[in-house]
Amino acid sequence: MKVILCTHNSGGVGKITLAVHLAGYLSKWGEVLLVNCDEQADSWKFFMEKEPGVPVDQGSARGIEVIANPERRSLKKLKVKPNQFDFIVIDIDTVFSNTVQVILNAHPDLIFIPLNRFHMYKSIDNLASVLEMVGGIDGNPALPYSVVIVPLGIDKENIESELERIEYHSEQYLVADFMEDLSTKMDKLIYKDRRYIWDSVGLEHNKKYFEYLAFNTSR
């Protein structure tokens, strides 16, 4: 079981883009569970195309099991067995010290922090607070997991300059390869069309980018 977090404490920076596309890509490689822990439930709505029930809702679409879990309840209490899945993707904004342990009784393996050109200055300005947040997940500041900053339409140099400015040790974090700026296209595909980016004519090559994130960015 591989546990992947997609997180950022600002909205509109690409967290949902990462969560739904990683879940969609990984569904070709094994059993996938997507846990949506945000109140807006946008990744749930991408797959299920409806509002979730409250306080928790479960469903299945496109070969992916999806749970809307804004109260961050234990999957064990929801009678879900995490070990039956090969990949668990968690879409979450703020992550407190024991959040992942409460939900899964497991540590994350891989954490993605998106930075989107559409909200470039906001997402970069908040990078220090996001890194501080993920640095304390499950009370373990030694980062036993991989933390990957994902530049969605932002030059890597801008992110690396910010990391130097806030004096975070670059060896603890990977700045992933640049992805072309598709923020406007992604916005329509995710919130209106409910389609993956690689299902658009001329954009099929972007599937390779999510393959790279899923399998080539772990420490």
Pairwise CA distance, residues 122 & 156, whole Å: 16
pLDDT digits (tens, 9 = 90+) for 163-200: 888 876 656 688 999 999 998 999 999 999 999 999 99
Is the distance from CB of 120 to CB of 36 less than 8 angstroms?
no
Q: Which helix (H) or strand (E) holds 217?
A: none
Each residue of 37-65: pLDDT tens digit? 999 999 999 999 999 998 999 999 999 99
Please report the pLDDT score of residue 170 as a whole number. Answer: 55
pTM of the model: 0.93
What pLDDT was estimated at residue 171?
A: 64
The pLDDT of residue 152: 94
pLDDT value for 57: 97
Q: Which among 14, 16, 22 has a CA at the least distance from the CA of 37?
A: 16
78-111 pLDDT tens trace: 999 999 999 999 999 888 767 888 899 888 889 9
The CA–CA distances, whole Å, from 71 to 59, 94, 95, 140 equal 17, 12, 12, 23
Segment 111-141, tens digit of pLDDT:
999 998 887 877 788 888 888 888 766 555 4
Q: Tell me what pLDDT residue 68 has.
A: 97
CA atoms of 11 and 170, how far apart (whole Å): 25
